Structure 1
Amino acid sequence: MSLIKQLWLAISLITLLSLGGSFIVSTLSARHYLQQELAVKNMDNATSLALSLSQMPKDPVTVELQISAQFDAGHYRQIRLTSPTGEVLVERKYDGRTAKAPHWFMAMVPIETRAGIAQVQDGWRQFGTLQIETHDHYAYDSLWAATVQLLWWFLGGGLLTGLIGTLALKLVTRPLGRMVEQAEAIGNRRFVTTPEPRTREFRSVVRAMNSLSGRIHTMLIEESQRLEQLRRQTQHDELTGLFNRSQFLNQLDAALSRDDANGFIYVVRISNLTGMNQLAGRAKVDEVLVHLAAALRTFPLPADRIEHGRLNASEVALLTLGEDEDSIAALDTLTTQLRTLAAKELPGAELRAAAARYATGEARGTLLARLDGALAGAEVDGAAHTVFANAHQPLHTSVADWRQAIVDALEQDGLALHRFPVLDLAGRVMHFESPVRLRMAGRWLNAGQFLPWAARCGQIEQIDARVVASACAALADDPTGPGLAINLSTEALSSTRGREDFIATLKAHRHIAHRLWVDVKESSALRYPIEFRMLCVALSALGCKIGLKHAGEDVARFAELHDLGLDYIKISAAFIRDIDANPGNQALVRGVCTLAHSIGLKVIAEGVSSHGEASVLADLGLDGMTGPRIVENSRSSGDVSRDPAGQAMTSQ
């Protein structure tokens, strides 16, 4: 029972008790007063009438007329004149009018009055005895009216007290509401703080809860900083601060394995590094390399995400996630800037640059071989610009052609969802990842091949709408199967209309919303924190599970996500690749798992490609895995069917 109801119950009980006590006291007092007043009135009237009769002639007609006049002028129940012998000489009675008070009230509070008695004289002789009784219905009416008035006063006072008490209670317990919200937030893994109330009892509780949230937040920050320090020690080049070769190649492998990846790799080489070391000294060359790395890292490129690494002593590289024609066009400017810097600080240095687009599924060796060939050609030709090594051509080269092709594909129902299983450590399917495919020119394109163009054409919202509708339909058709995980694009996250349409679709499918997993890229969530927070609140209310994919690359900012109510994170394949031979990444993943589990998040590994990786991950605290190795295991132990794109899919 709520405090408000308890307050009203208490006020009602107190009002009834007060009313009962006041009714008894006031009614008995009023009845006693009325009885006395009636008795005095009876006596006065009897004395007055007896005196008048004593002075009048005593013929029967005159006596009867006098008594009748008195009876008609007042409110009497009875006037009786009896002789000394007991004979009734004159008697008038009135029983016609009853009191307005209820009979039960009159029976409960009876009014008993003494009749007024006086002697009538005839000279020196007693003529008779006069007895007068005033009618008591007016007394009952007066007593009933006073009781009703008392009742209304108590009801009004009780209601007023209840309203004032309710307002006061709401004011006093307002901090309690915030405490409940804070407790619910902590239960949903959002460690928020609330202002301390003025009420002393509440203040101590709020202070304790704020202290709990503060300690957890501080712990998250400290652990995030420790993990970031560990990541830099194990993954970054000591001289330049860029990714070392091993981790940069892991980032490249992860990009090549991602379904939604699309971009290019750019490499800068100092061709005559050995000669420069001999001519200018190793310290000077190292200083120039540091400056080149800083210039490479700070050069602005309009890509979703950019990774920088040092491949060897003479080469630094740049990897973009999300291809953009403006980024490619800016590479010559970047090359010119780096050549100018090298020529200024290290005269005689020969700096060459090459770039190559990559696509999902391309082999790393093939891509690097193309880059090496382009760099070799640049050295032979003495090229001062960026040399491009492209092995594939896009289906279309203009925005208009891509727009028309995407529209045609959507109109012909050429959009489908692929399925990759995500298994827990016991081998059970947690859910299926469902990346989108689009059919063009007779073949199915993965997300990385068409989504960048769809974004440039302004058609991301239509594709996102089709994706969530297809996922809801698939879940509705299979009510007992595992959930589906769909990717929410950066454009849908940052767009108010896109988020509203996404949420509206899920509200229309509330019965299956709890089986939908929504993946948001970590970089997108950190780029749009306010929008992501709004999305988390809306999806949590619908029962959806929401988490971060490709997580861990911004581990230093992990503490910023502690109060969003996330359900899971998926660690990027860049940290998983060859983890069985990388103790640094093992320590980093173990720390991320510990940190995530402390706030109730599940941790899933992406891109597991070997038995060795899977074996090590099982001991690091992971809750689930996905990747090529997981798909192969599922195929060997389960039924295999075909998805709409004609690719193998594992069912539960």
Structure 2
Amino acid sequence: MSLMRQVWLLVLGVVLASLLGSVAVSTVSTRQLLQTQLQIKNSDNAAALALALSQQGGDAELMQLLISAQFDTGYYQRVAWRKPNGQLAFERVAPARASAAPAWFVSLTPIAVQPGVAQLSSGWNAIGSVEVLSHSAYAHDELWRSVTRMAALLLGLGLLASVGAYLALHRIRRPLDNAVAQARAVMEGNFSLLELPHVPELQRLTEAMNAMVTRVKAMFEAQGEQLQALRLQAHCDPLTGMSTRKHFLAELESALTRDEGPARGGLVLLRLRELALLNQRLGRPAVDQALLTLSRAVKAYPDRVRGCLGGRLNGSDFALWLPAPDVAAETAQALADALRVSLPGLGAGIQVSLGAVDLPRELSLGQWFGEADAALARSETQSGYVVDFFRGPNAGAAGTAGAEGGSSAQGERVWRAQILEALKERRARLSQFPLLDREGQVVHLECPLQLQLEADGPFEPATRWLPLAVRSRLTAEVDLLAVSLALEAIARDGKLRCVNIAPASLLDGGFVARLREQVFQAPQAARKLGLELAETAAVQHFDLLLEMGRQLRPLGVKLGLEHAGAGLAQVDRLYQAGLDYVKLDASVVSGASGDAARAAFVRGMLVMLRSLALKVYAEGLRDAMDVQALWDCELDGVTGPWATAQGGSD
């Protein structure tokens, strides 16, 4: 029972006790008063009757007539005339009159009075005495009416007092509820301050809570600033602020292995030629300005286009990854034109070579850089600002080319028809890869969807068909099928499973409602289901992600973010997102074993996310040394090739 309810019941009990006490005291007082008045009435009536009887000269018949006339008024229970020797001369008696008051009240408040007695005389001779006893029922009737009126009045006052007490307690409770809400908001990362209430004791409580919130907010802000500093130290080049070679390669490898995105992309390498000679001829400050100019030109793309990656590979080389087909050559030429205008003003003899390639994403990182380096080498054979472009062969048949964004509309239609048919016939299955904790236990199974696009063909991973599914707005249907398969698998073996939800599905107005209905039909399996969305969902569609959490988390579904990295800093209200866990991207955690700055950044991310009561996992891990370094950072779990080798896959 809550404290406010206990106080309210205590106040109500005190009011009721006061009412009952007041009624009891008033009843006793009124009873005593009526009893005294009835006794006086008996005595007065006896004296008046005795005076009338004494004037009859001792005539017995007249005296009897007077006694009968007095008795017939109906207010008397007994009227008697006794002779001087005490012998009864005449008596009129009526049965006891029933009171209008309840029997229990009559028995609880007895009114017992003695009859009034007066002496009779005829001249100087005593002729006896008269006794008069009135009905006590009239007194009980009046006592009952008095008590009921008083009880009604006191009850009304008691109700008013109870309402007043409730309102007063509600007024006191509001600041306490605000303090509780403030404490819960702090747990979620929301640092709001309260207005001071009028109650002095609650003012002190509110002041203490506000001071605590202010201090915690300052601690979080300091922690965020420290985390940003660690990120810059671990991932960024100190001169240009761009990603270091190590971090850029990790980001690019992670981007190439993800399911979402087009099947082809572009890579542009830029080189400030003859860096050592420029340092000697122009001086380091001028060369640094040239490098900054070149870096700003490259950074403009990642800053404006989500998914682009930029980095400084070494002293003179920069790289730009473009997550779209058929734009590498155009982008490289635009960079060359811009640098041709801006760099000569810093000194004579500055030249930039650019090599651009457009390749399928399934090629290895070494193949990407091999082709890009070859294009860069060819461009260095010419002077000035030269671009060399190489377009690799299309991966797969004509249908694949259409899916990758080529000009064949026929290919796109074929692939779209194949996806729709596979969804209609449920030609799909879930792969299973374990997410392991420190003890090697499976936290849950990661289950990416594979589609059998041709009736007798192989099951294709999402990298083959997801880009066209996004373009054709089929991701909602794909994700609903994946969730359905996961719920069925959970019902069979009871294992926890997690499926990926495309951020594009959130843009489908009916997706969340359909997903909730699907999950609602399997309440037991829903408690073992997890849904993962890419970090971009929180950055671009936060309100939709928030609504999804409100709809699904009460049903037991767990929500997580995957591919999480520096983009988390752009989510202002991450504490409100209703998440259960976050998976750090491979580009953030790879190499933590040999890089103290990177390990420090991971620990900072862990502290920040743990303060929001989130589990923190890592994805895409290959190296056992990196895994051990992450265990030392107190990570909750890992997934990737290393975990698959340890825990197996289906």
* TM-score under structure 2 length normalisation: 0.85
Residue range with higher mean Cα deviation, 601-610 or 151-160: 151-160
Pairing 1:342–2:316 present: no
* Alpha-carbon shift at residue 408 of structure 1 (Å): 1.2
1:474 is aligned, of 489, 498, 505, to: 489
Q: Say which of 465, 485, 500 aligns to 1:450.
A: 465
Structure 2 partner of 1:640: none
C-alpha displacement of 1:139: 0.2
Question: Which residue identity is paired with 1:621?
Answer: E
Deviates more, 1:306-315 or 1:530-539: 530-539
Q: Could you tell me how far apart the structure 2 residues matched to 1:285 and 1:318 are?
A: 21
Match of 1:460 among 470, 475, 483: 475
Matched, 1:43 2:53: no
Q: Deviations over 1:197-256 (max 9, x none)?
A: 414434444444444444444333323322322332343234433222222111111122
- The CA deviation string for residues 467-511 of structure 1, in whole angstroms up to 9 with x for no partner, is 2232222222223x3x22222322344666434444454444443
Q: Give the SS at the match of 1:149.
A: helix
Distance 1:451 1:550, change over 3 A: same
Conservation of the 8 A alpha-carbon contact between 2:227 and 2:604? yes
Q: Secondary structure at the match of 1:580?
A: coil
Is the aligned partner of 1:608 residue 2:610?
no
How far the C-alpha of 1:409 sits from its partner, in A, is 1.4
Query: Which residue is equivalent to 1:490?
Result: 503
User: Is 1:31 aligned to 2:28, yes or no?
Assistant: no
Which of 288, 291, 294 is the equivalent residue of 1:292? 294
The code of the aligned residue for 1:632 comes to A
- Give distance in 2, aligned partners of 1:278 and 1:169: 77
Q: Cα–Cα, structure 1 residues 489 and 344, in superposed 2: closer, same or farther, change >3 Å? A: same
Aligned runs of 1:155-174 on 2, under 5 Å?
A: 155-174=155-174
Are the counterparts in 1 of residues 394 and 401 from structure 2 also a CA contact under 8 Å?
A: no
Closer/same/farther in 2, CA of residues 337 and 370 from structure 1, 3 Å limit: closer
SS at match of 1:164: helix
Which piece of structure 1 moves more, 57-66 or 269-278?
269-278
2:370 — aligned with what?
369
Aligned letter for 2:103? H
In structure 2, the residue matched to 1:195 is 194
1:394 aligns with 2:409: no
> Does the CA contact (< 8 Å) of 2:429 and 2:449 recur in 1?
yes
Amino acid in the other structure paired with 2:21: G
The reply to whether residue 404 of structure 1 matches residue 401 of structure 2 is no
Cα distance in structure 2, aligned partners of 1:179 and 1:380: 71
Give 1:136 deviation, angstroms.
Answer: 0.8
Range moving further from structure 2, 82-91 or 366-375: 366-375
Distance of 1:16 and 1:342 partners within structure 2 = 89
**Distance in 2, Cα, partners of 1:164 & 1:472:** 54
Does 2:563 correspond to 1:550? yes
Correspondence for 2:265: 264
Residue 243 of structure 2 aligns with an amino acid whose one-letter code is F
Residues in 2 aligned to 1:217 and 1:511: alpha-carbon distance in whole angstroms: 39
Q: What is the CA–CA distance in structure 2 between the aligned matches of 1:52 and 1:407, rounded to whole Å?
A: 120
Structure 1 residue 308, shift from structure 2 partner: 0.8
Instruction: Give how far 1:267 is off.
Output: 0.1
Give 1:340's aligned amino acid. Answer: D
**Mapped contact 1:493–1:531 kept (Cα < 8 A):** yes
The answer to which of 161-170 and 294-303 deviates more is: 294-303
- How far does the alpha carbon of each residue in 1:155-213 deviate from its partner, in whole angstroms, 9 at most, with x for none? 333333222212221221122223333444556x5454451441443444444444444
2: distance between equivalents of 1:102 and 1:278?
114
One of 518, 524, 542 as aligned partner of 2:537: 524
Partners of 1:7 and 1:162 within 8 A in 2: no
Partners of 1:248 and 1:157 in 2: how far apart?
78
> Quick one: structure 1 residues 311 and 475, their matched pair in 2 at CA, closer, same or farther if it must change by over 3 Å?
same
Instruction: Answer with 267-276 or 160-169: which moved more.
Output: 267-276
Within the candidate set 574, 582, 587, 2:600 is matched to 587
Deviation at 1:87, TM superposition (A): 3.6
Matched with 1:112 is: 112
Counterpart of 1:618, as a letter, is W
* Counterpart contact for 1:545–1:567, Cα < 8 Å: yes
| CA shift for structure 1 position 601 | 3.5
Q: Which residue does 1:98 correspond to in 2? A: 98
Unaligned runs of 5+ in 1: 636-647
Q: Are the structure 2 counterparts of residues 540 and 164 from structure 1 closer, same or farther at C-alpha, using a change threshold of 3 Å?
A: farther
- Cα pair distance change 1:243/1:200, threshold 3 Å: same
What is the root-mean-square deviation of aligned Cα atoms in Å?
3.5
1:356 aligns to what SS in structure 2?
A: strand
Contact 1:227 1:555 survives alignment (8 Å): no
Larger CA deviation: 557-566 vs 544-553:
557-566
How far did residue 421 of structure 1 move? 0.5
1:305 matched to which residue of 2?
A: 307
**Is the 1:11–1:158 contact (alpha carbons within 8 Å) kept by the matching residues of 2?**
no
- The aligned counterpart of 1:5 is 5
Shift of 1:273: 5.6
- The structure-2 alpha-carbon separation of the partners of 1:208 and 1:537, relative to structure 1 and needing over 3 Å to count, comes to farther
Counterpart of 2:140 in structure 1 is 140
Pick closer, same or farther for the CA change 1:470–1:215 going to 2, 3 Å: farther
1:17 and 1:220 map into 2 onto residues whose CA distance is 53
After superposition, what is the alpha-carbon deviation per residue over 1:22-61, rounded to whole angstroms, capped at 9, x for unaligned?
Answer: 2343223212221222223223322333333344476554
Change over 3 Å in CA distance of 1:502–1:3 after alignment to 2: same
Equivalent position of 2:76 in the other structure: 76
Name the amino acid aligned to 2:401. Answer: P
Q: Which moved more, 1:215-224 or 1:282-291?
A: 282-291
CA distance in structure 1 between the partners assigned to 2:367 and 2:13 by the alignment: 86
Residues 414-439 of structure 1, C-alpha deviations (whole Å, 9 max, x = no match) = 23322111111221111111222222
After superposition, where does 1:120-131 map in structure 2 within 5 Å?
120-131=120-131
1:577 maps onto 2:584 in alignment = no
CA distance in 2, matches of 1:303, 1:477: 44
> What amino acid sits opposite 2:340 in the alignment?
A
Query: For the Cα contact (< 8 Å) 1:268–1:315, is it kept in 2?
Result: yes
CA deviation profile, 1:591-644 (whole Å, cap 9, x unmatched): 333444455433322111123333333333322211112211223xxxxxxxxx
Higher relative contact order (CA 8 A, sep 6+): 1
* 1:557 Cα deviation after fit: 4.9
Aligned to 1:641: none
The residue matched to 2:429 in structure 1 has which SS? strand
Cα gap change, 1:400/1:141 in structure 2, threshold over 3 Å: closer, same or farther? farther
343-352 or 147-156, larger mean C-alpha shift:
343-352
Unaligned runs of 5+ in 2: none
CA distance in 2, matches of 1:300, 1:245: 16
Change (3 A) 1:163 1:420: same
Instruction: Return the alpha-carbon distance in structure 2 between the equivalents of residues 557 and 362 of structure 1.
Output: 31
When residues 56 and 343 of structure 1 are mapped into structure 2, their CA distance, relative to the original with a 3 A threshold, is same
